[in-house]
Amino acid sequence: MEKPEVVSLEEWQKVRDELLVAEKEVTRAMDAVAARRRRLPMVEFGGDHVFESAEGPRTLVELFEGRAQLAVYQFMDIGPDDFCGGCTWFTGNVPATGLGMLGDNGVTWVTASDMPLAQIQSYQERMGWTVPFVSSRGTSFSRDCGAGGGFMLTLFLRDGDSVYRTYSTTQRGVDRLVFANNILDLAPYGRQQSWEDSPEGWPQHPTYG
């Protein structure tokens, strides 16, 4: 297995400082994008969406659990005997303590799927997940969010019983939220996935291989 070049501390520090300049530029750009995100308008989210949960049927308003903000991750339904590798990787990186911190800041987290509730619960138990799950099967929720048959993270704001969609993202927008991915991006070999631009000889494999 190839390894990074060994250099003196002075040489390493020089290259590291040059990279830091680029990192700071990215940080400032992300702060600017976040500022624009906080200024997005919102759209009323209609529809009579009722979800199945371990506690019984719950409306979209009830998913807020009394808070003003709600984040919903739509976990793909790809059949009764299979589960999306990307959604599994993402969900496995959602920490219970992190959800508590979200709640302390007025945001409730829920993972929804068009899978039947029994299928979700079976997989949840198998994976040891404590993330709150609901089934959106039989509703137009996924389609109304724009996820269709895919995955998506959607943010909502509640004003009384009125619900508004404020933001949604998918693909790399969701990918950047994964804890393990962020740490791997800092590691010498990266994520070791075949799409990455890595030096010759670096270990690589298919994304979900």
Q: Identify the sign of the CA torsion 209, 184, 194, 111.
A: positive
* 196 in any annotated domain: no
Phi and psi of 67, rounded to 5°?
A: -85, 170
Q: Where are the beta strands (DSSP E) in 66-136?
A: 69-75, 107-113, 133-135
Give the per-residue pLDDT at 200: 93
Domain that holds residue 68: 43-175
Q: Do residue 16 and residue 94 come from a single domain?
A: no
* CB-CB contact of 69 with 60 (8 Å): no
* CB-CB contact of 202 with 192 (8 Å): yes
Give the per-residue pLDDT at 132: 95
Report, in angstroms and rounded to the nearest whole number, the Rg of the chain calculated over CA atoms: 20
Q: Do residue 113 and residue 153 come from a single domain?
A: yes
Q: Do residue 48 and residue 138 come from a single domain?
A: yes
Q: Do residue 35 and residue 80 come from a single domain?
A: no
Give the per-residue pLDDT at 39: 97
The ranges of the chain with pLDDT < 70 are 209
Q: Is the pTM of this model over 0.95?
A: no
* 180 in any annotated domain: no
Give the per-residue pLDDT at 85: 93
Tokens for 86, please give them: 């990307």
Give the per-residue pLDDT at 208: 73
Give the per-residue pLDDT at 79: 94
Q: Do residue 64 and residue 157 come from a single domain?
A: yes
Tokens for 192, please give them: 């070791």
Q: Do residue 22 and residue 60 come from a single domain?
A: no
Q: In what order do the strands lie in the sheet with 107-113?
A: 43-44, 162-169, 152-159, 69-75, 107-113, 133-135, 50-53, 56-59
* 124 in any annotated domain: yes
Q: Do residue 56 and residue 124 come from a single domain?
A: yes
